[in-house]
């Protein structure tokens, strides 16, 4: 039950931890899987980088808090986001007990609005494969997020949520290769992605630079979030 230690205790009587949401914001930047971090200005961990996040307000749900944090940092709302895990080691924040519910979001790079405004904190994009020193237990959270992202790519088809609205199959394959850190076979990739039936041709073609123009695809809006397939890649 939600509380019953004894049940007649007023929950408000107990010591209460602070509760935050942290949002791991993934994007593909420069052929790299990157994550948005914020530079802390104050102790503890002053001048170190940290995952964007903040307190859960008393009137908003956890997911609303995560969406709000995401919007504050990126100006974006309609992206793939899911709850990752909750972290609550007693001294993860040296000041006081802070429990954080971590989310992760997949954001197409082209929709992100740089907003140095708001809380005026310095932000930066960092490669997931070359992270700076991080505040709190944030490295652990990022590593957990990467594991989960890779896992999801293997048995669902969320990868395109990191790409612009329309994209080529080569771009999608490159996204998968970057995140999984392994090379995939072009023909097998295309067959499987198309077999999952979540993409449709736009009829348009991408003509830029050299080479044969590529068909542009978008994803079907009615595609179920969790495409229950077998693992997409070995």
74 makes contact with its own copies (CB under 8 A): no
Residue from 29, 32, 62, 75 touching its own copies (CB under 8 A): that is 62
d(CA 207, CA 214): 7
Q: What character string, x for contact with its own copies (CB under 8 A) and - otherwise, covers 134-173? A: -xx-x-----------------------------------
Other Cβ atoms less than 10 A from the Cβ of 58: the count is 5
Q: What character string, x for contact with DNA (CB under 7 A) and - otherwise, covers 194-233? A: -----------x-x-xxxxxxx--------------xx-x
204 makes contact with its own copies (CB under 8 A): no
Q: Are 45 and 136 in contact (CB under 8 A)?
A: yes
Other Cβ atoms less than 10 A from the Cβ of 36: the count is 23
Q: Which does 113 bind (CB under 5 to 8 A by kind): DNA, its own copies, none?
A: none
Residue from 29, 71, 76, 85 touching its own copies (CB under 8 A): that is 85
d(CA 161, CA 147): 17
113 makes contact with its own copies (CB under 8 A): no
Q: Is 221 a catalytic residue?
A: no
d(CA 113, CA 166): 19
Other Cβ atoms less than 10 A from the Cβ of 53: the count is 25
Q: Which does 5 bind (CB under 5 to 8 A by kind): its own copies, DNA, none?
A: its own copies
As measured in angstroms, the least distance from the Cβ of 211 to DNA is: 2
Q: Name the maximum alpha-carbon separation found in the chain.
A: 72
41 makes contact with DNA (CB under 7 A): no
d(CA 80, CA 138): 21
* Site residues (CB under 7 A) for DNA, limited to 151-190: 168-170, 185-188, 190
* Site residues (CB under 8 A) for its own copies, limited to 29-58: 38, 40-42, 50-58
Catalytic annotation, pick one of 60, 64, 122, 201: 122
Residue 206's beta-bridge partner residues?
214
Q: Which does 218 bind (CB under 5 to 8 A by kind): its own copies, DNA, none?
A: none
Which H helix or E strand runs over 111? none
Helix pair 169-180, 186-195: axis angle to 10 deg: 110
191 makes contact with its own copies (CB under 8 A): no
d(CA 54, CA 56): 7
Active site residues: 122
């Amino acid at each position: 039950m939600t509380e019953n230690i004894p049940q007649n205790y007023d929950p408000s009587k107990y010591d209460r931890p602070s509760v935050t949401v942290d949002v791991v914001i993934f994007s593909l930047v420069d052929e790299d899987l990157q994550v948005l971090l914020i530079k802390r200005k104050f102790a503890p961990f002053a001048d170190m980088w940290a995952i964007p996040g903040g307190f859960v307000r008393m009137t908003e749900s956890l997911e609303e808090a995560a969406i709000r944090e995401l919007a504050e940092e990126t100006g974006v709302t309609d992206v793939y986001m899911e709850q990752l895990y909750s972290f609550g080691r007693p001294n993860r924040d040296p000041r006081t007990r802070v429990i954080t519910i971590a989310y992760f979001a997949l954001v197409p790079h082209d929709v992100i609005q740089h907003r140095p405004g708001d809380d005026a904190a310095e932000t930066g994009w960092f490669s997931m494969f070359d992270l700076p020193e991080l505040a709190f237990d944030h490295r652990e959270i990022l590593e957990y997020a990467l594991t989960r992202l890779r896992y999801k790519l293997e048995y669902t088809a969320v990868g395109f949520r990191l790409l612009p609205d329309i994209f080529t199959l080569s771009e999608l394959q490159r996204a998968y290769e970057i995140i999984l850190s392994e090379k995939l076979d072009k023909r097998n990739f295309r067959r499987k992605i198309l077999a999952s039936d979540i993409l449709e041709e736009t009829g348009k073609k991408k003509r830029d630079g050299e080479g044969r123009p590529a068909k542009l695809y978008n994803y079907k809006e009615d595609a179920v979030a969790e495409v229950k397939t077998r693992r997409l890649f070995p």
